[in-house]
Amino acid sequence: MIPFQHELNVRYGTAEDRLPEIQRVLAENPGPFTYTGSGTYLVGGDSVAVIDPGPALDSHFDALIRALDGRRVSHILVTHTHLDHSPLARRLAEATGAPTYGFGPHGSGRKAGLDGEAVEAGADMDFEPDITLGDGDSVVGEGWSLKAVHTPGHTSNHLCFFWPERRILFTGDHVMGWSTTVVSPPDGDMRAYINSLDTLAALDAEVLVPTHGPLIRDAGAYIAALKAHRLEREAQVLHAVSAGISQIDDVVKRLYADIDPWLHPAAARSVLSHLIDLVERGKITADGPPTLAAKYTLTS
């Protein structure tokens, strides 16, 4: 069981202290995939890094400028290219003179194939960082140092940022406190997501700081619970197919009977991601490329 954590009372448009030298400004873009909104983090003192500038909302840009209140922005860091994380990066860079940092444009690191399964409604196709970061690269500012950790899974270009001296990990959307993360092919990859959880566990962070939702204090146990959940879901998908349920819609009806039907399309994307992984590992066979419409059987 994942120990989900929730925030019942939030404030928009103002900087809130989350941890020493870490503030959050919450964008007013609540929704079923953003929870209470996108949190932009200011890291440092008189000179700060901005992590995940957020959606292209004038109100959020104005709130960030107020929160900075004369402080210098030295770095603008982007965890990944979704419309609730990266679009404001260029406008903030122009206003502050700070360069943008990220793994690369949307789709960077994506494996080949699945061309017919392009689902990019939430993608920011315009963002391209001024400075690219690879796994293990360090970004250093006044009084802080962050290590880029490439964590593909939610998107192929997803980065987390680890502050080793403080054992604080900014997790973007790879780990969220209020919900599991959407893993939707083709840019989402379930095997990569699970492997990236192992990467985060090895960092031995104490506190997780997601873009959406509250801080997570018991970091190791939480990451372990997320992995256990994904492996349990994988086993459920495998069992459903072994029972003769050959199409994704029917698998979703069986495994997600307790959620609102309007969420079933998102659940289908997650099941597809599991099935792609199982096909690639030879446990399940598809009657063609693994897609939403394919039929699946247990490999004999």
Burial of 197 (0-12, 13-18, 19+ CB in 10 A): buried
- pLDDT at residue 43 above 60? yes
Rounded mean pLDDT, 111-128:
70
* Band of pLDDT at residue 300, cut at 50, 70 and 90: confident
pLDDT for the residue 115: 52
Percentage with pLDDT > 70 across the chain: 96
Segment 253-278 shows an average pLDDT of 93
Q: Which residues pair with 83 in a beta bridge?
A: none
Q: Is 249 a catalytic residue?
A: no
Is residue 117 pLDDT above 50, yes or no? no
Q: List, in order, residues 6 or more apart from 34 with CB less than 8 Å away.
A: 84, 212
For residues 108 and 196, the model is more confident at 196
Active-site residue, from 52, 69, 84, 218: 84
CB atoms within 10 A of CB 132: 15
pLDDT score for 112: 56
Q: Rounded mean pLDDT of 186-208?
A: 97
Q: What is the pLDDT of residue 250?
A: 97
* pLDDT exceeds 70 at position 8: yes
Residues 139-150 have a mean pLDDT of 97
Q: What is the mean pLDDT of the chain?
A: 94
Q: Rounded to an integer, what distance in angstroms lies between the CA atom of residue 22 and that of residue 51?
A: 10
- Look up the pTM and report it: 0.95
% pLDDT > 90, the chain: 89
Q: Which domains, from first to last, does the chain contain?
A: 15-218 (3.60.15.10), 228-298 (1.10.10.10)
Sheet with 207-210, side-by-side order of all strands? 138-141, 144-150, 159-163, 168-172, 207-210
Average pLDDT over residues 47-75: 97
pLDDT confidence tier of residue 120, bands split at 50, 70 and 90: low
Provide the pLDDT for residue 89. 98
pLDDT of residue 26: 98
